[in-house]
Structure 1
Amino acid sequence: MKITCFEDLAAEAKRMAKKTVIAVVEAQDEHTLESVIQATKDGIMVPALIGNEARIRALLARFGADPGGFDIVPANGAEDSLQKAVALIKAGKAGAIMKGILESGQFMKAILDKENGLIPAGGKLSLIGFYEAPKYHKLFAVSDFGLNTYPDLALKRIIIENAVRLLHALGHESPKVAVLSSVEKVNPKMPDAVDGGALKEMNQRGELSGCIVEGPISFDLATSAEAARIKGYLSPVAGDADLLIVPDIAAGNMLVKCLTGFGGARTAGTVLGAAVPVILTSRSAEASDKYYSIALAACAAAGF
């Protein structure tokens, strides 16, 4: 089944016979628990709630859930929660990890710590977000807008490969990848345009496979068939991109915040490249965003 909207994503996660155990770090947070309770009711996940036991139990009860029906792992602070989550993953008792009410930097430090063994040898992490925007005809993804600051050509290739692997798991046989720039032609003075052209050539030579890569390409041409028609731009990716690759973290961060803030897009995200899916939502994210991020991680865990 090809996932084209968040409802499809949730439905696919619900259909999975084996439910992913997700270790929720510092779970004593309203939006986090609200999303976890709903995802558990819907049969999308099996939660391991790690953190302040009394606060977790109180919040579960406030939302009308029976605390006795949840696996609660008491922990004394964020570091203790992180280590207990890592232990569950290393023991094979959890297949994904989710950030609750703690800082992203502290959370990711534990993921990146080589002693914890969550990064495969030679592995590189990348952050991917999926967006459902009112003016676009399908679900699409953006990467990497939050982990890799100024990725070079080699790292951009890995970012694409990480994302394409997930898109395959979501039913996309040959996802359309747009390597974004402000121009559509390779300009030696613009490194992002040079990289876009190089990645397209890699794809054409078969070195970057399983997808169709276009680059460099501007945002409007990647997402608007009408803009492509007016400008006479011909490409199978034009107006139909499944994945947008941003040139750097600054451009990516601004793009996704415009999508959600001004564009009214719904979102879900996960970190790719680790031994298990990593749910890295903002502490201020709505419960619905966290819910769909859980569904995404569940699909990713099954697909990998």
Structure 2
Amino acid sequence: MNDNVAPFDALTRAACKAGPVRVAVADAAQKVVMETLRDAERTGLATPLLVGDPNAIRTIAADLGWTVAQDAIIAAADDAEAAARVVALVREGRADVVMKGNLHTDIFMRALLDKNLGLRLPGQRVSHVFVVTLPGHERLLGITDAAINIAPNLTAKAQICQNAVDLFRMLGVVRPKVAVLSAVETVTADIASTLDAACLTLMSRRGQITGAEVDGPLALDNAISARAATGKGILSDVAGSADILLVPDLVSGNILAKTLEYLAGGVAAGIAIGLAAPVVLTSRADPAPARLAALAIAALMHHRRPQVEPLLETAKNSIAAAPQPEDACRPLPAVTNLQPLPVSLPPQFRESTQ
């Protein structure tokens, strides 16, 4: 397990060095959530604001031997109120990062995406990235989108791709390699995801997706195994060495991420990007290492991007995440607001620009 989370340890050290972030947690009364936040506070990664049932929060904290400051606990009657309160903390300038606790994703996201009181940014698509470590696999692996965009169209996929690229560049990958996944590696009119993949590859070459090498369609084996790619005669700078896997839809991405986590020993840190604050969006069943890693990534996102003001303008035609129609996409090219992070990181983070 220690070898598996070593790349995340490097990110956590970098985030701690930058200073603690104020993290608002919706429905914090869950043992694994509280354990994560206790460790984050003790290491200097985060200053928690715990929203939910005060009595339940204090009981769990006592069981963990954690003394929580009185003003760090914010009462909320139910999950919907807890989600609304963490959003309000960001809008009021009292929190830097939002974290999902023991509540359903749809309740949490509904508050974040609220047109008037949420954290939407004008012209910005919201998407999700699982950043995964795997035993014996030295590279961090991104999977997107496996939690927010249900059935994205071509324009949506381009924006999802750009979001993930910006995230990995911020983490230190000089030029991420993106494999656009399908079931096969040939363009086939009967499989729509292969057509989207071919278009995304060309869009990257034409500068509509920037800062990355994008290639597809690629099947999963071709994307991550050089032996499989060579055996199939695939000539590609991405095949066999992908940093990011862009999946056809939410269902396939979710299955892939959870397969790697539960059957291959992976640790998956879930992050939602494209809002006015970084969002730790993990499953309620995720273990503490995954939550801590996601919090470290969110902290780095906060430290390495310009601060934004979500209250100046109501978002118009901005996101096409699950609750919105797909024609609400913003036009390309995307504009990134994440800056590279100059820290010493694992091997894939030390690539040259050649």
Which TM-score band (shorter chain)? over 0.9
Of all paired residues, the percent bearing the same amino acid is: 36
> Partners in 2 of 1:261 and 1:81 — Cα distance?
29
What is residue 196 of structure 2 aligned with on the other side? 195
User: Per the alignment, do residues 54 and 4 of structure 1 end up closer, same or farther by CA in structure 2, a change over 3 Å counting?
Assistant: closer
1:153 aligned to 2:157?
no
Contact 1:88 1:94 (8 Å CA) reproduced: yes
> Partners in 2 of 1:215 and 1:253 — Cα distance?
20
> Partners in 1 of 2:194 and 2:8 — Cα distance?
32
Deviation at 1:70, TM superposition (A): 6.7
What is residue 76 of structure 1 aligned with on the other side? 77
> Partners in 1 of 2:86 and 2:29 — Cα distance?
15
- Structure 1: segments with no counterpart, 5+ residues: none
Bigger drift between 64-73 and 132-141 goes to 64-73
1:250 aligned to 2:251?
yes
1:13 aligned to 2:11?
no
> Partners in 2 of 1:66 and 1:117 — Cα distance?
31
Contact 2:282 2:291 (8 Å CA) reproduced: yes
Partner amino acid for 1:116? L
| RMSD (Å) for aligned C-alpha atoms | 1.6
What is residue 99 of structure 2 aligned with on the other side? 98
Which structure 2 residues correspond to residues 159-198 of structure 1 after superposition, within 5 A? Answer: 159-198=160-199
> Partners in 2 of 1:222 and 1:137 — Cα distance?
15
- The number of residues matched between the two structures is 301
User: Per the alignment, do residues 70 and 243 of structure 1 end up closer, same or farther by CA in structure 2, a change over 3 Å counting?
Assistant: farther
What is residue 210 of structure 1 aligned with on the other side? 211
Contact 2:257 2:268 (8 Å CA) reproduced: no
> Partners in 1 of 2:215 and 2:223 — Cα distance?
9
- Structure 2: segments with no counterpart, 5+ residues: 306-354
Runs of 4+ in 1 over 4 A off after TM superposition: none
Contact 1:123 1:274 (8 Å CA) reproduced: yes
SS of the counterpart of 1:138?
A: strand
Contact 1:47 1:70 (8 Å CA) reproduced: no
What is residue 279 of structure 1 aligned with on the other side? 280
User: Per the alignment, do residues 168 and 4 of structure 1 end up closer, same or farther by CA in structure 2, a change over 3 Å counting?
Assistant: farther
C-alpha offsets along residues 94-123 of structure 1, whole Å, 9 cap, x if unaligned?
111111111111111111111214011122
> Partners in 2 of 1:26 and 1:250 — Cα distance?
26
> Partners in 2 of 1:220 and 1:258 — Cα distance?
15
Deviation at 1:254, TM superposition (A): 1.5
User: Per the alignment, do residues 243 and 147 of structure 1 end up closer, same or farther by CA in structure 2, a change over 3 Å counting?
Assistant: same
Deviation at 1:4, TM superposition (A): 8.2
SS of the counterpart of 1:66?
A: coil
> Partners in 2 of 1:102 and 1:30 — Cα distance?
13
What is residue 232 of structure 1 aligned with on the other side? 233
Contact 2:111 2:118 (8 Å CA) reproduced: no
User: Per the alignment, do residues 68 and 92 of structure 1 end up closer, same or farther by CA in structure 2, a change over 3 Å counting?
Assistant: closer
Partner amino acid for 1:253? N
SS of the counterpart of 1:283?
A: coil
1:41 aligned to 2:42?
yes
Contact 1:110 1:116 (8 Å CA) reproduced: yes
> Partners in 1 of 2:84 and 2:207 — Cα distance?
41
C-alpha offsets along residues 230-258 of structure 1, whole Å, 9 cap, x if unaligned?
22222121211110000011211211121
C-alpha offsets along residues 22-76 of structure 1, whole Å, 9 cap, x if unaligned?
1001111101000011111111111111111121112112111112387111222
What is residue 126 of structure 1 aligned with on the other side? 127
> Partners in 2 of 1:61 and 1:267 — Cα distance?
28
SS of the counterpart of 1:301?
A: helix
What is residue 298 of structure 1 aligned with on the other side? 299
> Partners in 2 of 1:37 and 1:70 — Cα distance?
15
SS of the counterpart of 2:138?
A: coil
* TM-score (ref. length: structure 1): 0.95
